[in-house]
């Protein structure tokens, strides 16, 4: 018995020695192999086939996660890149985890190319532009996130989603949806601002309008310029445009203000990007205002929040990571003028026009799904 034990001990020691020698040889003879590939190769010496397959498939190492960002423009929010969940938990706050969901954990950079077809992009910095997928912060409910910057109002996301928006569309060809642009000249990389509507946010609005019209909704896309020659007073002027359309088309129930954000600094602009079906799209941010301290003259803000959260849910379900966390903020942004008003930011001034146009197309599809659930 003692001799047999001695033989087993020697055999085990020899295996360990050979395994260590193999790892040492790999690390010195394959300098181009990254750490993940080296780990898989080393695991082949000591793991059974099933465990090695798990390592090779990435099951043992990676989860979705990104790093946070900051914004300079109104509304100032940092956020996005959502993990997907099948069952929404109770609304929770600030990076919490629900018992129904795996806790979002810090993960390695996506430089390994794990999410090429769908999900975060590789973080890069070149020519004063940092391209990355903005991470999720704030309140998590299932696969959607909300950033609440109000002081006096909390938000129970599940409860708000359970409430019906004050929108009931006929889809009979009459105009029921208004698309407009308070900052009409906002444009993208290479332009920043332009009155050429083929290169600014008006072009994004055209993509959204096309999706809505293809689904049978009556849409008016008002391209009136409100921020040139003067930027100040843009919201006053766009408010006049909204009222003019409400007078002309009294059936309008949904009004969407289409913007372009700006993040980072003049020396390091942030380009929020995500991969959707193997193609880059600019990340979007939905904004829902709140009369937080009762001084804005915006008593019915809850109705807009209901619609905004349903849009956020649809985007998160169809295109995970496309939407940064919804911005629930103490602002009005002319959203008081209908019960179906929202503001949406498409990319930043560092995003390319093609990325913003693709984001507009994707949001349009998600908006259609939302509004189809609100038809008579």
Helix axes 301-318, 353-372, angle to 10 degrees: 110
SS3 content of the chain, % helix, strand, coil (to 5): 35, 20, 45
Contact 91, 334 (CB under 8 A): no
Assess if residue 242 is contained within a domain.
Answer: yes
Predicted local confidence at residue 368, as pLDDT: 98
One domain, residues 13 and 150: no
Contact 120, 275 (CB under 8 A): yes
Residue with tokens 């993960």: 107
For residue 295, what are its two tokens?
């001084």
Assess if residue 108 is contained within a domain.
Answer: no
Predicted local confidence at residue 135, as pLDDT: 86
Domain count for the chain, please give it.
2
One domain, residues 172 and 49: no
pTM, entire model: 0.72
One domain, residues 39 and 157: no
Contact 261, 71 (CB under 8 A): yes
Strands 175-180 and 254-261: parallel
As a whole number of angstroms, the distance between CA 32 and CA 311 comes to 45
One domain, residues 34 and 149: no
Burial status of residue 4 (CB atoms within 10 A of its CB: 0-12, 13-18, 19 or more): exposed
The rounded radius of gyration (Å) of the Cα atoms in the chain is 25
Assess if residue 62 is contained within a domain.
Answer: no
Q: Which residue, of 16, 38, 56, is where some domain finishes?
A: 56
Neighbours of 83 (CB within 10 A): 20
DSSP per residue, 328-344: EES--TTGGG-TTEEEE
As a whole number of angstroms, the distance between CA 212 and CA 203 comes to 15
Phi (first) and psi of residue 201, to 5 degrees: -65, -15
Assess if residue 115 is contained within a domain.
Answer: no
Please report which helix (H) or strand (E) contains residue 279, including its range. strand 279-282
Contact 272, 129 (CB under 8 A): no
CATH of the domain at 170: 3.40.630.40
Contact 352, 273 (CB under 8 A): no
One domain, residues 235 and 342: yes
Contact 279, 254 (CB under 8 A): no
pLDDT tens, position by position, 91-102: 333 333 333 333
Predicted local confidence at residue 50, as pLDDT: 36
One domain, residues 52 and 143: no
Predicted local confidence at residue 116, as pLDDT: 62
One domain, residues 198 and 342: yes
As a whole number of angstroms, the distance between CA 144 and CA 154 comes to 16
Predicted local confidence at residue 286, as pLDDT: 98
Say which residues have a Cβ less than 8 Å from residue 133's Cβ, sequence separation at least 6.
66, 80, 81, 110, 119, 120, 121, 123, 272, 273, 274, 283, 321
Assess if residue 276 is contained within a domain.
Answer: yes
Q: What residues make up the domain containing 47?
A: 2-56
One domain, residues 39 and 165: no
For residue 98, what are its two tokens?
């629900």
As a whole number of angstroms, the distance between CA 6 and CA 14 comes to 12
As a whole number of angstroms, the distance between CA 134 and CA 114 comes to 17
Assess if residue 93 is contained within a domain.
Answer: no
Provide the residue-wise pLDDT of the chain in tens; the chain has 376 residues.
444 445 544 554 554 555 555 444 444 444 444 444 444 344 443 333 333 333 333 332 222 232 333 333 334 333 333 333 333 443 333 333 333 333 333 333 333 334 468 999 999 999 999 999 998 899 999 999 999 999 999 999 999 999 999 999 999 999 999 999 999 999 999 999 999 999 999 999 999 999 999 999 999 999 999 999 999 999 999 999 999 999 999 999 999 999 999 999 999 999 999 999 999 999 999 999 999 999 999 999 999 999 999 999 999 999 999 999 999 999 999 999 999 999 999 999 999 999 999 999 999 999 999 999 999 9
Q: End-to-end CA distance of the chain, in Å?
A: 83
Phi (first) and psi of residue 112, to 5 degrees: -75, -5
Contact 342, 306 (CB under 8 A): no
Phi (first) and psi of residue 215, to 5 degrees: -90, 5
- Cis? peptide before 320, omega within 30° of 0: no
Residue with tokens 């921020």: 227
Total count of residues recorded for the chain: 376
For residue 279, what are its two tokens?
């193609």
Sign for the pseudo-dihedral over CA of 242, 245, 251, 256: negative
């Amino acid at each position: 018995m003692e001799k047999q034990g001695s033989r087993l001990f020697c055999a085990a020691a020899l295996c360990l020695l050979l395994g260590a020698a193999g790892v040492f040889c790999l690390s010195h003879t394959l300098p181009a192999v990254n750490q993940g590939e080296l780990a898989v190769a080393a695991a082949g010496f000591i793991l059974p086939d099933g465990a090695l397959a798990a390592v090779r498939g990435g099951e043992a190492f990676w989860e979705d996660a990104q790093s946070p960002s900051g914004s300079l423009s109104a509304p100032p929010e940092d956020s996005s890149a959502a993990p997907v969940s099948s069952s929404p938990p109770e609304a929770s706050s600030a990076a919490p985890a629900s018992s129904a969901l795996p806790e979002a954990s810090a993960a390695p950079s996506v430089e390994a190319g794990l999410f090429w077809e769908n999900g975060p992009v590789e973080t890069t910095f070149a020519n004063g532009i940092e391209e990355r997928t903005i991470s999720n912060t704030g309140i998590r409910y299932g696969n959607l996130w909300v950033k609440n910057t109000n002081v006096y109002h909390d938000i129970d996301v599940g409860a708000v989603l359970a409430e019906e928006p004050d929108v009931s569309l006929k889809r009979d060809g009459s105009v029921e949806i208004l698309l407009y642009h308070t900052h009409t000249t906002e444009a993208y990389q290479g332009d920043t601002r332009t009155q050429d509507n083929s290169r600014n946010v008006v072009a994004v609005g055209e993509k959204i309008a096309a999706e809505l019209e293809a689904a049978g909704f009556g849409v008016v896309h008002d391209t009136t310029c409100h921020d040139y020659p003067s930027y100040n007073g843009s919201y006053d002027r766009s408010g006049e445009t909204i009222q003019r359309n409400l007078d002309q088309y009294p059936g309008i129930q949904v009004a969407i203000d289409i913007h372009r954000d700006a993040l980072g600094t003049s020396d390091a602009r942030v380009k929020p990007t995500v991969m959707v079906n193997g193609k880059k799209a600019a990340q979007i941010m939905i904004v829902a205002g709140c009369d937080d301290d009762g001084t804005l003259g915006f008593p019915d803000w809850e109705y807009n929040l209901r619609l905004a959260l349903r849009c956020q849910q649809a985007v998160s379900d169809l295109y995970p990571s496309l939407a940064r966390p919804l911005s629930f903020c103490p602002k009005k942004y002319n959203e008081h003028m209908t019960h179906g008003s929202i503001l949406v930011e498409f990319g930043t001034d560092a995003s390319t026009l093609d990325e913003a146009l693709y984001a507009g197309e994707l949001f349009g599809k998600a908006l259609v799904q939302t509004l189809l659930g609100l038809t008579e």
